[in-house]
A = this chain, B = another copy of it.
Amino acid sequence: MRIGVLGAGQLGRMLALDGYPLAHQFVFYDMSGNPSAGLGEVMIDPGNEYLDDFLSRVDRVTYEFEHLPVSVAETMAQHKPVHPLPRALAVCQNREYEKSLFGELGIPTPQWRIAETPTQLHEAAEALGCPVVVKSTTEGYDGKGQAVLHDPDEAEEAWDGIGHPRLIVESFVPFRRELSIIAARGEDGELAFYPMAENVHSEGILRYSIAPAPQLSKTVHEDAERYIRLLMNELGYVGVLALEMFETEQGLVANEMAPRVHNSGHWSMNGATTSQFENHIRAVSGLPLGDTSARGVHCMVNIIGQHGDATDLLRLPYTHLHLYDKQARPGRKLGHINVEADSYEELVWRVRNTASFLPGSPDFHCSLTRRR
C-alpha cells in the first residue's frame, strides 16, 4: 500500500521506518517548502499545485503535522481515505474548539473564557483569578502567542503582545506533573492504549518522557483511557492520538491533544512490542493493532540544539540512538535517545549518565528525583 504523509519531518521519517517492514511505500507531501527530515520521495508543493499528482501516487493519506490547511485535507478526503479525519485537524488547530469538545465529553479542563477585546481579557482574568494563561485560539507554526497574566491590569500589554483577535484565557492549574496518554484506534474501532508517560519540559520544549509513568494510580490511568476513548470514538478517529494532561490533587485535567504520533511516545520504538509509529501505520492501512504494553521502564531523552558526540552515546549499552539527520540549530529537535532499565532507580542513574553527554541538556528532574 502507498501511504501519503502530509509533512516531511522526523515524525514522518519514523512512520516510514516502521511502515516499510509492512511492505508499504511512502510519499511525503511538504507544504512548508523546507522538509527537514524526509526519507525517500518528498514532494515539495507549498502552493498545492501538484495535489492531483500526489493523490494519484498514494492509496491512503495521513499526517505527521497538524498545522496544515483543513481545506487541503478535506479536498484530499474527497479522493482518497484521509486518517485521522480532517475534523480532528480542525479541532486541534483551535484551542476554543478543542476545549469545547473536552467539555462536551466531560473531560476536565482548566476553567476558561474567550476574550475578543482587552477589556474582555481584563474581565476574564478577574473572573478566573490570576495567574491566568492567555493564548491565541489559533496558532501559527512558530508557537508564539502566549502570555501569563499575574494581574488583570497586565491585560492590555498582553493583548498587544499576542496580537490576535480572539484569545482563550485559562485559569492556572497547580499540577504535580505533566502526563500524556497515547492510544491507537483501528478502522474497525479497535482500541489500544500505551502506558502513560510522565513528561518533563524545559523552556517550552519536551526534554524527558518516562514510561510507564512512575507511581501512577490505577484510577488515573483508567480516567486517561476513558478520556482518550471518548475523544477517538467521537471523532471517528483512525490512527494514533496523543492527549496531554496535568495531574492535580483533584485528578487529571486535559491540556491539549495532538492528532498524530507524539514525542512523548518515542520510547515505544524500543520499549513496546509495537511502536506508536507502527500502530499508526497499521491503523491507517486497515491492519490490526499491535501490542502496546511496555517491557521494562524507559526514558526518552530529546537531543535539542546540539548533537553531542554520537560515539559517547553509542558506548552506553542501554541506549538506543535515533537521529533525524537534521542540521543543528538552537532549540531544534535533532534526535532522541531511548534509555531502558529494569527498575526506576537504575533508570534515573542511566538517564543522568546519558544526559551528561548531551551539551546543554537540563538536569533530570521528575517525580522520581524529587525528595518526598
Interface residues of A (CB under 8 A from B): 13, 17, 20-23, 25, 39-40, 273, 282, 287-288, 290-291, 295, 310-311, 314-315, 317-318, 320-325, 335, 340
Contacts and interface: CB of A to CB of B under 8 A. Distances in A.
B314 A291 contact: no
A21 B17 contact: yes
A23 B288 contact: no
Contact of A310 (B25, B287, B295, B317): B287
Given A273-B340, A291-B317, 20 more contacts: A17-B17, A17-B21, A20-B325, A21-B321, A21-B323, A21-B335, A22-B321, A23-B310, A23-B323, A23-B324, A23-B335, A25-B325, A40-B40, A273-B318, A287-B310, A287-B311, A287-B314, A288-B311, A288-B314, A290-B317
B22 A323 contact: yes
A318 B288 CA distance: 13
B290 A314 contact: yes
Contact of A273 (B25, B315, B317, B322): B317
A314 B274 CA distance: 10
A270 to B, nearest CB: 8
Given A17-B17, A310-B287, A273 B22 contact: no
B318 A23 contact: no
A129 B33 CA distance: 72
Contacts of A323: 21-23
Closest 8 CB pairs of A and B: A23-B323, A291-B317, A23-B325, A21-B322, A288-B315, A288-B314, A287-B314, A17-B17
A320 to B, nearest CB: 7
Contacts of A22: 310, 321, 323
A291 B311 contact: no
28 contacts: A17-B17, A17-B20, A17-B21, A20-B325, A21-B320, A21-B323, A21-B335, A22-B310, A22-B321, A22-B323, A23-B310, A23-B323, A23-B325, A23-B335, A25-B325, A40-B40, A273-B317, A273-B318, A282-B314, A287-B310, A287-B311, A287-B314, A288-B311, A288-B314, A290-B314, A290-B317, A291-B318, A295-B295
